[in-house]
Amino acid sequence: MVYTLVCTLYTLDDPACIQKVKNKLIEASRTYSKDKETLSWLVMQDVKDPRMFKVVERYQEEASQKYHLANPYQKTFDPWVMPFLAKPIEVLRHEELDTSKEVEVE
């Protein structure tokens, strides 16, 4: 079952800050997408509120996070990004539904 994290980052109200976080997230995606058992590491910016970013991390299974957490880049990411955030990163954890089989909807 695919294990997914949805993270929300909300920056300080400063255009320079927003751009720095945006660039860091692009760099992070390019780095983490190469981790073993990472299916995708997607970054996006809200269309109405440029301060809000979402990260969708998709792993083969929950245990696959160990490769992400072992990546040396991980130790630098949080300390770098935290000073630019207006509030703590929100992390939601999900297991994706299996949509490979037909279901009956009553």
Nearest to 20 by CA among 89, 76, 85: 85
Q: What is the pLDDT of residues 29-51, one digit of tens each?
A: 999 999 999 999 999 999 999 99
Residue whose C-alpha is closest to residue 78's, from 99, 103, 55: 55
pTM of structure: 0.92
Residue 99 pLDDT grade (very low, low, confident, very high; cuts 50, 70, 90) = very high
Q: Got the DSSP string for 42-89?
A: EEEE-SS-TTEEEEEEEESSGGGHHHHHHSHHHHHHHHHHGGGBSSPP
